[in-house]
Amino acid sequence: MLASIGKLNRHQEKMAYVFITPTLLLFAIFTVIPVVMALYLSFTNYDVLSRMDWVALDNYKRLFKDSLYWTTFKNVIFYSIIFVPLNILFSLGLAMLMNFKRFGIRLFRTLNYLPTLTSAVAAATVWIWLLHPEFGLVNNILGWFGITGPAWLAQTETAMPSIIMVTLWQSIGSNMVIYIAGLQGVPDYLYESAKLDGASAFARFRYITWPQLRPTTFLISTMAIIGALQLFDQAFVLTQGGPGNVTKTPVYLIYQQGFKQLQMGYASAQAFVLAIAILIFSLINMRINKAEEPVV
């Protein structure tokens, strides 16, 4: 009896390896090897075509003196500080609105999800139009109220907020779906007993919904932070990093350095520092979210 269980376990173990092998292989080829290569290349002067000599820490030394690289970090951090909380606020708010069981609610959910389905570049192209200072829809609407709208994408003050607006519009749909799933996972008896105890709607949200959604919020905020640090498409299409470098992002710079200037070694160093930054921010986020364990 015991022996056959052992056999079964061994068999399951073997099968498990068979099943995970393809995924792990793909992961190794497309994730692990490139990361290791980037680390190695960041210590060389690799230029894709003719050179690859070991230059030790030269690329990193250059990186620390490169003011533009740190400007791009400042830009994405500014972006994240505004984007991540707003993203959580709007997607949770929408999810709570869309969580009622009413006739036609699915249609509304679908409509709210639609922006997520469009390609970032196509959506950004349309937004350039909407944000045009003289003929765009946004400024025309503002004009009805007697407000002269700014040149959204061309002014240093409004360029980054415009990008935040466009990326929010595009990302809250998918986060809303995740939040709806989270909300539907909260056990009803918690709400019922709270109601019996006379808890107000705000108290129910404060003490039941929000703590119960902690894992969901953790997932969404982590993804949003990673996405923010890797911002590229919208900044590339909407503003080309301008005006005055206020919307240039680290990924934009890596692309420029590697593929336009053929300095793959230096670009790899930039990419590696970015990867470490993402790791650090994710860890900080993890600590904040793990500070209180969820109830139940």
Partner 1 sequence: MKKWASIVLTAFMAVSLLAGCGSKETDSNTTAKGGASSSDKPVELAFWGDWAGEGQKQFETMVDAFNKSQNKIHVKYVLQQDMITKFMTTATSGGESPDLVFWDRWRTSLYAPKNVFHPIDEFMEQDKINKDDFYGEALKELSYDGKLYGLPLTVDARALFYNKKILDAAGVKPPTNWDELEQAAIKTTKWNGSKLEVAGFSLADNGLFNMYLQQTGGQMLDETGTKTNFNNEKGLEVLNFWDRLLNKDKVYKIGFEQGLGEGTDAFVTGKLAMQYTGPWMLSTYKKYGKDLDFGVVTPPVGPNGDKGSVMGGLGLVIPEGSKHQKEAWEFMKWWAANKDNALLWAKTSLNIPGFKPAIEDPFFQNDPLWKPFLDTLEFAKIRAQHPGYSVMEDDGLIPNLQLFQQNKMSAEEALAKSQQRGDQLLQDNAAVK
How far apart are CB 201 and partner 1 at their closest, in Å?
44
In the range 117-136, which residues lie near partner 1 by CB under 8 A? 125, 128-129, 131-136
Tell me the C-alpha distance between 224 and 178, whole Å. Answer: 13
Biggest CA–CA distance in the chain, Å, is: 84
Q: Collapsing DSSP states into helix, strand and coil, what is residue 289?
A: helix
Binding mask 79-118 for partner 1 (x = CB under 8 A): ----------------------------------------
Would you say 134 or 292 has its CB closer to partner 1?
134
Region binding partner 1 by CB under 8 A among candidate stretches 105-113, 211-219, 237-245, 267-275: 237-245
256 binds partner 1 (CB under 8 A): yes
Tell me the C-alpha distance between 147 and 39, whole Å. Answer: 51
Q: Are 156 and 72 in contact (CB under 8 A)?
A: no
Q: Using CB under 8 A, pick the residue from 32, 68, 137, 286 that binds partner 1.
A: 68
Region binding partner 1 by CB under 8 A among candidate stretches 1-9, 51-59, 95-103, 226-234: 51-59
Residues linked to residue 44 through DSSP beta bridges, in sequence order: 54
How far apart are CB 117 and partner 1 at their closest, in Å?
22
In the range 155-194, which residues lie near partner 1 by CB under 8 A? 155-156
Q: Is 200 left (phi over 0), alpha (psi -120 to 50) or beta?
A: beta
Tell me the C-alpha distance between 19 and 142, whole Å. Answer: 57
Would you say 134 or 293 has its CB closer to partner 1?
134
Region binding partner 1 by CB under 8 A among candidate stretches 144-152, 186-194, 225-233, 279-287: 144-152
- Cα-flanking dihedrals φ and ψ of residue 59, to 5°? -60, -40
Q: Which amino acid is at 54?
A: W
Burial class (CB in 10 A: 0-12, 13-18, 19+), 84: buried
How far apart are CB 241 and partner 1 at their closest, in Å?
8
8 binds partner 1 (CB under 8 A): no
Tell me the C-alpha distance between 42 and 257, whole Å. Answer: 13
How far apart are CB 169 and partner 1 at their closest, in Å?
17
Q: How far is CA 221 from the centre of its chain?
A: 8
Nearest Cα neighbor of 270 from 12, 55, 73 is 73
Region binding partner 1 by CB under 8 A among candidate stretches 74-82, 172-180, 202-210, 257-265: 257-265
- Cα-flanking dihedrals φ and ψ of residue 54, to 5°? -70, 125
Binding mask 20-39 for partner 1 (x = CB under 8 A): ---------x---xx--x--
Contacting positions for partner 1 (CB under 8 A): 29, 33-34, 37, 40-41, 45, 47-52, 54, 62, 67-68, 125, 128-129, 131-136, 148, 151-156, 242-245, 256, 259-263
